[in-house]
Structure 1
Amino acid sequence: MKTLSLGLATICLGLATLASADTTVPLFFTADQGVGAAVGTVVLSESKYGVVLTPDLKGLPPGIHGFHLHQNPSCDNKGMAAGGHFDPQKTEKHLGAYSDSGHLGDLPALTVNADGTAKLPVLAPRIKHISDLTGHALMIHLGGDNYADQPEKLGGGGPRLVCGVIGQ
């Protein structure tokens, strides 16, 4: 499994080098008002295969976390002001990053290491340009993501843990 993760990370990092202009998004724990403590950044890079999201995060609970692009450029109210997953085609389906039939804001799950750090890049193949992300919120949920609405709605990610606004 470590070899597969290392290989995927190497591929994603290689894809990031093909990018034109990177955008760095600061991420913070969610709070009742505004944002909480900083947890790091996610760098957005364009590649011919889609947008690569490269996290440099710390202080998170270990494990797999739901990772999504949300509609509104706000992290207020414990992240709820961000609205739902970005879904410009109004599919109303949570099917994951690789299905053309679901939310465009569904990203591959984020992996957090045992020490609370996340550095493994993910590729969003359906999102071709960083400008497609601008004016939205990047969200990390407390729980994982099964890329379905069953048995729990929106993949079962639960509370919104970390949030950052892209391009503002």
Structure 2
Amino acid sequence: MKVLAFAASSSTKSINKTLANYAASLVTGAEFELLNINDYEMPLFSQDREEELGQPQAAKDFFAKLGEADAIIISFAEHNGTYTAAYKNLFDWTSRIDQKVFQNKPVVYLATSPGPGGAASVLATATNSAQYFAADVKASLSIPSFYDNFDMETQKLTNAELDDQLKTAVAQLTE
């Protein structure tokens, strides 16, 4: 089984990237790839740019990468209650190739933030719209207060209850 994991963030210090990497490492018997959405940077999407540029190769490559995976793990960063601009732009361009962006793949949606909200707003938005983009959401989980619940040195969740919830969530990718 091949799992594709990524953070919906362009930050080089993304805690969501750290969480996605940890979550992917928990999928029993799977090979995983941690994707960096910065490798798929494109101009800001607009109808005018689409008419001018067509479909950028980076969007085609991202769509193909999603298609090659057996399962997908995304950890969403939250900017002002919603998607980061970098992820939203990549998503917008990719959805113009095919609205079924996630190609009926099983996915686990995660989110975290340094604060107690755990990026729950963006997670709810992503989960609620998943059906329109052919994401078979097996589980979603918000990790609040990331630095209180995750040990950056060992790269593991230290909160046993949250760790059990995460293990249960990612296990659903192989069922």
TM-score under structure 1 length normalisation:
0.26
Which of 1 and 2 has greater Rg?
2
Kindly indicate which of the two structures has a greater share of residues assigned to strand: 1
TM-score under structure 2 length normalisation:
0.25
Kindly indicate which of the two structures has a greater share of residues assigned to helix: 2
